[in-house]
Amino acid sequence: MRKTIRTRKLNRRDFMKLGGGVLAGAALTRLLPRTLGQSGMIALAEDYSQVTAAPADLSLVGTDGWIYLPGEVPIPGAVNQFYQPDDYAPGLLTTYMFGFRDVTGLSEELVFAQKMKCQATAPLFWVNEGQEYRVKLTNVGLQMRPDLIDEHTLHWHGFRNAWPIFDGEPHSSVRVPIGRSLTMYYQPFHPGTYMYHCHVEETEHVHMGMTGSVFVRPAQDGTPIVAANGKTYDRFAYNCGDGSTGFDREFVLNLTDVWAEAHWADSHVQLPDWTDFNADYYLLNGRVYPDTVAPNGIGLDTNTGILQPHPDHPELQYQPLSSLIECEAGDRVLLRLINLTFGQHAMTLPGLKMRVVGKDATLLRGNDGTDFAYDTHTIYLGTGATVDAIFTAPEDVTETQTYLFYNRNFDRLSNAGGQGYGGQMTEIRVHPAGTLAPQTEPNTNPRL
Ligand SMILES: [Cu+2]
């Protein structure tokens, strides 16, 4: 197979067939060069070498690691033994995970030093409509499970014009073995909110934490439009044309779950029966309430490779993304909801009306212009679904108002059945005007 491909020039059509068909063979793992695109057979396909010639915009590693969750999950029938906290967990951490980390800008030595240092959820990233974007994924292996030689992939769920080779769906494409890298190429043409996840052994790898958020900014961004409320916006969820999806601030909320027994089983070389699945924790951006409202982590130190936690929350070192939503009076706030759990959820926001403007990266508007956007206080979203909803903060705010945004199923508002509120809940704090600086990145609350 290798020889045939080496001696033949491939056109674009052949290459797409190649991605979908020939490369699917199990032999591919052996044939995948150390850095696909720099050497080896696939580099001869002109399109691939073109799209991966430029440096990656984002570099990720796939590996295992540990996070912090409060509460206990006893092992039934055992005395003083717990699925959670895991007795193998180091330091302040409690729960074994698989996941991704952002290693952009790190030396290769430091990239491989991030083994057993994944984060939950995976790094958030975003791309402009039409932008060429490259994501390099390196598989550095699983520290706790050297017996598991699992590959990883990055599957951009819902990406509509994927080449099979970059789709990350391993049965029709390639996967990244331990010690190797693959650079994926994207040029998105459909704005909206998406998710990504590893597609290898997906029941396990998705549940164990290899899930993240990605969204596409519309081409309309940067063009000021006066909306029906009389205000001018230059950032939008979609190419709405009328400012109806314009916003001042945006927040991604990625819903995941943790079944403590499965996480313990993976660290203890046991096999969970996935048909017994029964989540103990429901998370927002990899944390449970009240940690959901704790600040963001400080970020990656590219000299040391250390993911720096916020000084007040060292236990959240590998859960860097806050779900705290702060805004000023009158702000329009875009909520990008993503459900990567195994069930349906109803997220409710008493006291503030949300307008659902998009679903599954699609503007809720018919081909004839009919507006299907609707107002609600509760958003339903099924597994693998995304919803874009905008609320407008009240205008007459003289002191900070706090609203709760939470899962309507009270079962999912506790941390492993412990006392007090937990789980999938966060807070929306509406401050008087003149408190916050303009937001330059999602999920941030910059002060003036
Ligand atoms: Cu994986």
Domain spans of the chain? 2-53, 58-431
Cα(96) to centroid of ligand 1, in Å? 14
CA dihedral over 164, 169, 173, 175, signed as positive or negative: positive
Determine the distance separating the centroid of ligand 1 and the alpha carbon of 333, expressed in angstroms: 33
3 state DSSP class of 247: coil
Measured in angstroms, how far is the CA atom of residue 154 from the centroid of ligand 1? 8
- The rounded Å distance from CA 285 to ligand 1 centre is 19
What sign for the dihedral angle of Cα 45, 48, 50, 56? negative
N-term to C-term CA, the chain? 61
Distance 176 CA to ligand 1 centre (A): 9
**Rounded to the nearest whole angstrom, what is the distance from the C-alpha of residue 57 to the centroid of ligand 1?**
21
Question: For each of the chain's 448 residues, which pLDDT tens digit applies?
Answer: 333 333 344 444 444 444 444 344 333 433 444 444 333 333 334 456 666 678 899 999 999 999 999 999 999 999 999 999 999 999 999 999 999 999 999 999 999 999 999 999 999 999 999 999 999 999 999 999 999 999 999 999 998 878 888 899 988 889 999 999 999 999 999 999 999 999 999 999 999 999 999 999 999 999 999 999 999 999 999 999 999 999 999 999 999 999 999 999 999 999 999 999 999 999 999 999 999 999 999 999 999 999 999 999 999 999 999 999 999 999 999 999 999 999 999 999 999 999 999 999 999 999 999 999 999 999 999 999 999 999 999 999 999 999 999 999 999 999 999 999 999 999 999 999 999 999 999 999 999 9
Give the Cα separation of 109 and 66 in Å (integer): 21
**CB contact at 8 A, 422 and 71:** yes
The CATH architecture annotation of domain 58-431 reads Sandwich (2.60)
Q: What are phi and psi of 171, to 5 degrees?
A: -80, -20
Tell me how far apart the alpha carbons of residues 224 and 388 are, in angstroms, rounded to a whole number: 21
What one-character-per-residue DSSP string does 356-377 give?
EEEESS-BSB-TT--B--EEES
Residues 6+ apart with CB under 8 A from 410: none
- In the numeric block, the tokens 């720096």 are attached to 308
Cα of 206 to ligand 1 centre, how many Å? 8
In sequence order, what E strands does 199-248 have?
Answer: 211-217, 225-226, 232-233
Q: Tally helices (H) and strands (E) across the chain.
A: 7, 25
Which of 113, 162, 161 has its CA nearest to residue 138? 113
* d(CA 210, ligand 1 centre) in Å: 6
Rg value, the chain, Cα: 22
Q: How far is the CA of 306 from the centre of ligand 1 (A)?
A: 22
